[in-house]
């Protein structure tokens, strides 16, 4: 999948969240449905050659969900049962 695809699909999902008044933190199931709708629309455009196909739908859906209804790149660490702590250093701080 290209970065363009991920950015476009995420933007479409965010637009639908605003239009439909979905609360991403409380209505994760509805957000998942919106992600699936956006991926299906992308696939339809890919079938006619208008865009490059998304090869890993599961990974793309997870990435969009993490960015829209989670904490973005931190979400994978929060979902990992092996992770016990997450430390975030302030830029320029000395440990």
Phi, psi dihedral angles at 27 (to 5 degrees): -125, 55
> Is residue 90 situated within a structural domain?
no
Measured between alpha carbons, how far is residue 53 from residues 5, 34, 39 in Å? 8, 18, 10
Q: Please state, in angstroms and rounded to a whole number, the distance separating the CA atoms of residues 59 and 95.
A: 35
The structure tokens listed for 45 are 């455009």
> Is residue 83 situated within a structural domain?
no
pLDDT, tens digit only, all 95 positions of the chain = 468 889 999 999 999 999 999 999 999 999 999 999 999 999 999 999 999 999 999 999 999 999 999 999 999 999 999 999 999 888 876 65
> Is residue 49 situated within a structural domain?
yes
Distance of CA 27 to the CA centre of its chain: 14
> Is residue 41 situated within a structural domain?
yes
Q: What pLDDT, on the 0 to 100 scale, is given for residue 95?
A: 58
Q: What pLDDT, on the 0 to 100 scale, is given for residue 94?
A: 63
Number of domains in the chain: 1
Q: What pLDDT, on the 0 to 100 scale, is given for residue 38?
A: 97
> Is residue 56 situated within a structural domain?
yes
Q: What pLDDT, on the 0 to 100 scale, is given for residue 24?
A: 96
Q: Which residues form the domain of 18?
A: 3-74
Q: Please state, in angstroms and rounded to a whole number, the distance separating the CA atoms of residues 62 and 48.
A: 25
pTM of the model: 0.83
Q: What pLDDT, on the 0 to 100 scale, is given for residue 69?
A: 96
Q: Please state, in angstroms and rounded to a whole number, the distance separating the CA atoms of residues 63 and 50.
A: 23
Q: What pLDDT, on the 0 to 100 scale, is given for residue 81?
A: 96
């Amino acid at each position: 999948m290209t970065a363009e695809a991920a950015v476009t699909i995420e933007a479409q999902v965010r637009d639908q969240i605003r239009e439909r008044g979905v609360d991403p933190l409380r209505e994760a199931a509805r957000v998942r449905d919106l992600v699936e709708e956006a991926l299906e629309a992308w696939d339809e455009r890919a079938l006619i050659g208008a865009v490059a196909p998304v090869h890993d739908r599961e990974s793309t859906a997870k990435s969009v969900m993490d960015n829209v209804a989670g904490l973005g790149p931190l979400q994978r660490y929060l979902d990992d049962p092996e992770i016990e702590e997450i430390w975030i250093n302030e830029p320029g701080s000395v440990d």
